[in-house]
Structure 1
Amino acid sequence: MSWIDIGHIEDVPVRGARLLKTSVGCIAVFRTAEAEVFAASNTCPHKKGPLVEGIVHGQKVTCPLHNWVFDLNTGEAQGADEGRIDTYPVRLDGDRILIDGEAVGQRSAA
């Protein structure tokens, strides 16, 4: 893996997200109430809702347009909804958020 520093954990609000613009599209970086971080495609496959504007609860995000819920670990839609979003390896190194640059470069983010 090729880790890239994308910012300080305080740059992402608790139970919120920030947008990371890359050459392959936009990635949403999420922070949970437990100070965990996740990275996933910013676009809901249902109606293209911006997941960065969604509600983060536990290790899930709810699309702001039609309430589809995605597991931030797997990208799978929860419940009766079918679909998934791409997820990207991300980790904390102290207070810095790192994302796997190789994984981002291997697929389209949006």
Structure 2
Amino acid sequence: MTNWIDIGPLDGIAPRGARVVRTDWGCIAVFRTSDDEVFALEDSCPHKKGPLSEGIVHGKSVTCPLHNWVISLETGAAQGADQGQTGTIATRVEDGRILMDEAVLQARSAA
């Protein structure tokens, strides 16, 4: 059974924006696309650990603010010639609220 954590209203994140959620398991970047889809990634680029939450959201990707690596919001994988991956956390939107999968966060902290 999945336990979902309510992390706030969808309107709390601007379209094509992000916010950081600090958890016991680390900082998570939560992104909202221009189509109101929500994705969550570990807030760390696989290249030099840049803060993805400060990057530019475009389509279903975010560009790291440090060295312009493009990271898929769906998979966490670097795109193009770059290689690497950051962790993803399941999210959903219910009644205008963003929910994040607590079990995935706990599994990450145990690793």
Question: What's the offset of the Cα at 1:13?
Answer: 1.2
Bigger relative contact order (CA 8 A; separation at least 6):
1
Q: Equivalent residue for 1:104?
A: 105
Q: Tell me, in whole angstroms, the C-alpha distance in 2 between the residues paired with 1:12 and 1:23.
A: 22
Q: Equivalent residue for 1:70?
A: 71
Q: Where in structure 2 are there 5+ consecutive unaligned residues?
A: none
Taking structure 2 as the reference length, what is the TM-score of the superposition? 0.95
Q: Tell me, in whole angstroms, the C-alpha distance in 1 between the residues paired with 2:24 and 2:4.
A: 16
SS state of the match for residue 52, structure 1?
Answer: helix
Question: What's the offset of the Cα at 1:4?
Answer: 1.0
Question: What's the offset of the Cα at 1:12?
Answer: 0.9
SS state of the match for residue 106, structure 1?
Answer: helix
- Kindly tell me the number of residue pairs found equivalent between the two proteins: 108
SS state of the match for residue 40, structure 2?
Answer: strand
SS state of the match for residue 108, structure 2?
Answer: coil
Could you list the runs of 4 or more consecutive aligned residues of structure 1 that deviate by over 2 angstroms after TM superposition?
Answer: none
Q: Cα deviation per residue 1:27-70 (whole Å; 9 max; x = unaligned)?
A: 00000000110000101121111000000000100000000011
Q: Tell me, in whole angstroms, the C-alpha distance in 2 between the residues paired with 1:10 and 1:54.
A: 19
Q: Equivalent residue for 1:86?
A: 87
SS state of the match for residue 6, structure 1?
Answer: strand
Cα root mean square deviation, aligned? 0.7
Taking structure 1 as the reference length, what is the TM-score of the superposition? 0.95
Q: Where in structure 1 are there 5+ consecutive unaligned residues?
A: none
1:7-26 to 2 correspondences below 5 Å: 7-26=8-27
